A and B are shown apart, each in its own frame.
Chain A
């Protein structure tokens, strides 16, 4: 028996899974140590933090679904070996099904039934007229524009209903969770069974559950929205179509993965470098410090865009000279993405390294570390036990803060022409294309708006989450007055 698909692990997928594994290990570590758990509890209690976290998790879900790649098998004649399509699909592609394949001719406005450009059409009697033709898919089941409003309302109603059910389910789960006291401690301060009413009053009032409450509210809203979209999207282009008629909503969803990968993989690449070099420079001092300082001053002093531009060109040459490594188009554009992350990582580690060096320099002079050294405890042990845990919050804060900056940087790099592959769906590519659309009259605004909303809905929670993490780990910087 043969599979009807072949899983395909792209480089970026592999790195993403590595990152997820690392996160799991980190979470496990945090769970084991009370003093590490405490700041995370504070994050959990923060309304802003939890609300943002739910949104981020939704993005992450889309990103991960889009990272499970496979190649479907082609229908084979009996007796022939099975061949797989050259096109790589992701689980997300399968889930959104019709969005990917329902391609129109060119622009159409959100929820439109007609194309946005007039076309010359031939009437049955041979005469030619120039008019807006009907879309092939968007609202094709309707007789005319008059039926649209009712149809849309119907779909949304259905969606809201389904979303309401799902929300109720989520709420119920939360109540059980709180009621069993498995969650944060109840208002009485002691874990225990609260009963449904007790759980409800705790959930709706307790200040220690404020985070959970906010998270739940965001989750419910998200579920309602998602359900409505799921109802509507197969029948309409809810965010319109682009120049070649692709569904803009689908493109925006596909861009999520690109944005997330650039924000996270870059960090994954930069982290070991920054951690190792920064701490080493601060701790050992002397020659090592000089060498590392030389390295990062040199790298730092090169204007970033030039460095990135040249490095991206190098990556392209590599891809070009090794065509045998990439049997699919996806693999080619994927590698360019990985290279971009790599390059961004190589150029952005210097800031964190410098910060870590300074902090380590300070820590080194601390009494307890001096004492540890006096007792002859090995350097590695001191680094591992005393220094690393004490700089971990710096790393964390830097990572969370960098994330949004990197997502934004992708757009700018695409503008300069050294961003991701032009065939990769990304917000940068969308904005770049939309710049031209703004000059059209009537104006084509939906692609720009979609990129704006999707980006904003990722970067804003990322910033808010970063804030609450920073506050939780470093109450001084919190700034409540």
Chain B
């Protein structure tokens, strides 16, 4: 077990190097250090000397991948890539280009993201599974049909409409929640209701249909028929047997996203003005702050790999038949 985990962690290293290389390449195809300097120095009165100074100061004066002038291994190590990427492995994200410490920023911004993403995820999971179970429970009645049609209809609406509609109705017309914003502590409560509700509703069609299919697949299996033949009530059959067995595919889908919840949702956060990591990332893309983009990509990859690992581990918990080699 421990061996397996260690092996998986080691396996992650080449992946992270690959991720770094890709983002690095993509970013510097479009962003020369000169461009970055110009953006950070502002539009008015920028001199070439100021750009040079900025590059030296922020360590962007080195060549990208290969240093012609350095000696020996320095040819490879005294480069922008090695310097800017290696530190990441020690989770040292360095300073953003506006001089703020990235790790610190991530530390504070993670909580609002989590405050939205985690309840959305949990409430969502509960709602989708209950909804799907309800449909299965009432299968072949008008309720099931209505539910399925509703799901397809919900799926066919762009997520943007839910956000726009929610803000318009609940915030502007009915005065029930603030249109957008965020506050730390207990005050956050009223700000979270709308984004969470929108998040849950916008996933309703897709996910509950998926879960319904899973449950239906289980329900046609022999063991369910046996259970029913034994005279177990429909409720017990559904909850104990069907739900229990459908847990594996549900977990595969769900566990892998849990660590990434930290990163928050780009769209929801920027619409609702939540100061989380999602809006941080969008702003960084717009401001072309390479240090932040790189850190977020790296963090995203790490969290994804952790998610995969968690998925594997959770298999063993849910289904004792699965053994990790």
A and B touch in the complex (CB under 8 A): yes
Q: Once the chains are docked, how many angstroms separate the CA of A298 from the CA of B217?
A: 32
Which of A298, A300, A307, A412 is close to B159, meaning CB atoms less than 8 Å apart? A412
Chain A 278-305 interface residues, beta-carbon cutoff 8 Å to B: 294, 297-303, 305
Chain A 447-481 interface residues, beta-carbon cutoff 8 Å to B: 448, 452, 455-456, 459-460, 462-464, 467, 476-477, 479-481
Q: Once the chains are docked, how many angstroms separate the CA of A311 from the CA of B25?
A: 10
Is there contact, CB below 8 Å, between A404 and B213?
no
The proximity string for B residues 264-307 relative to A, scoring 1 for CB distances below 8 Å and 0 otherwise, is: 00110000000000000110011000000100110011001100
Chain A 27-73 interface residues, beta-carbon cutoff 8 Å to B: none
Which of A313, A460, A477 is close to B152, meaning CB atoms less than 8 Å apart? A460
- The answer to whether B15 has its CB under 8 Å from any CB of chain A is yes
Is there contact, CB below 8 Å, between A301 and B304?
yes
Is there contact, CB below 8 Å, between B156 and A404?
yes
- The answer to whether A408 has its CB under 8 Å from any CB of chain B is yes
A464's closest neighbor in chain B, by CB? B152
Is there contact, CB below 8 Å, between B27 and A416?
no
Given known A306-B293, A412-B158, contact A301–B152 (CB-CB < 8 A): no
Q: When A and B form their complex, what is the total count of cross-chain residue pairs whose Cβ atoms lie within 8 Å?
A: 117
Is there contact, CB below 8 Å, between A297 and B15?
yes
Q: Once the chains are docked, how many angstroms separate the CA of A356 from the CA of B164?
A: 38
Is there contact, CB below 8 Å, between B158 and A455?
yes
Q: Once the chains are docked, how many angstroms separate the CA of A479 from the CA of B263?
A: 36
Q: Once the chains are docked, how many angstroms separate the CA of A309 from the CA of B281?
A: 11
- The answer to whether B22 has its CB under 8 Å from any CB of chain A is yes
The proximity string for A residues 404-446 relative to B, scoring 1 for CB distances below 8 Å and 0 otherwise, is: 1000100110011100000000010001000100100000000
Contacts of A309 in B (CB 8 A): 285
Which of A314, A411, A416, A431 is close to B30, meaning CB atoms less than 8 Å apart? A314
Is there contact, CB below 8 Å, between A310 and B26?
yes
Q: Once the chains are docked, how many angstroms separate the CA of A459 from the CA of B155?
A: 8
Chain B 97-148 interface residues, beta-carbon cutoff 8 Å to A: 136, 139-140, 144
Is there contact, CB below 8 Å, between A460 and B19?
no
Which of A302, A307, A480 has the most CB atoms of chain B within a 10 A radius of its CB?
A302
- The answer to whether A317 has its CB under 8 Å from any CB of chain B is yes
A456's closest neighbor in chain B, by CB? B156
- Chain A interface size, as a band, is 35 or more
Is there contact, CB below 8 Å, between B139 and A481?
yes
Which of B160, B286, B308 is close to A412, meaning CB atoms less than 8 Å apart? B160
- Chain B interface size, as a band, is 35 or more
A452's closest neighbor in chain B, by CB? B161
Is there contact, CB below 8 Å, between B15 and A314?
no
Q: How distant is B139 from chain A, measured CB to nearest CB, in Å?
A: 4
Given known A294-B15, A306-B296, A481-B216, contact A416–B29 (CB-CB < 8 A): no
Q: Once the chains are docked, how many angstroms separate the CA of A415 from the CA of B305?
A: 29
Q: Once the chains are docked, how many angstroms separate the CA of A294 from the CA of B308?
A: 14
Which of A301, A463, A479, A480 is close to B155, meaning CB atoms less than 8 Å apart? A463
Given known A310-B27, A479-B216, contact A452–B139 (CB-CB < 8 A): no
Chain A to chain B contacts (Cβ below 8 Å), 28 pairs: A298-B15, A301-B15, A302-B22, A302-B23, A302-B300, A302-B301, A303-B300, A306-B281, A306-B285, A307-B22, A310-B23, A310-B293, A311-B26, A314-B29, A316-B30, A411-B158, A412-B158, A412-B160, A412-B267, A416-B267, A417-B286, A460-B152, A463-B152, A463-B155, A464-B152, A479-B216, A480-B140, A481-B136
B residues adjacent to A (C-beta < 8 A): 14-15, 18-19, 22-23, 26-27, 29-30, 136, 139-140, 144, 152-153, 155-161, 164, 168, 212-213, 216-217, 219-220, 260, 263, 266-267, 281-282, 285-286, 293, 296-297, 300-301, 304-305, 308
A307-B26, A456-B156, A463-B156 given. 14 additional CB < 8 A pairs? A298-B19, A298-B22, A299-B22, A302-B301, A303-B296, A311-B26, A404-B155, A411-B158, A412-B160, A417-B286, A459-B156, A479-B213, A479-B216, A481-B139
Pick the 3 closest A-B CB pairs, nearest first: A301-B301, A310-B26, A481-B139
A residues adjacent to B (C-beta < 8 A): 294, 297-303, 305-307, 309-311, 313-314, 316-317, 404, 408, 411-412, 415-417, 427, 431, 435, 438, 448, 452, 455-456, 459-460, 462-464, 467, 476-477, 479-481
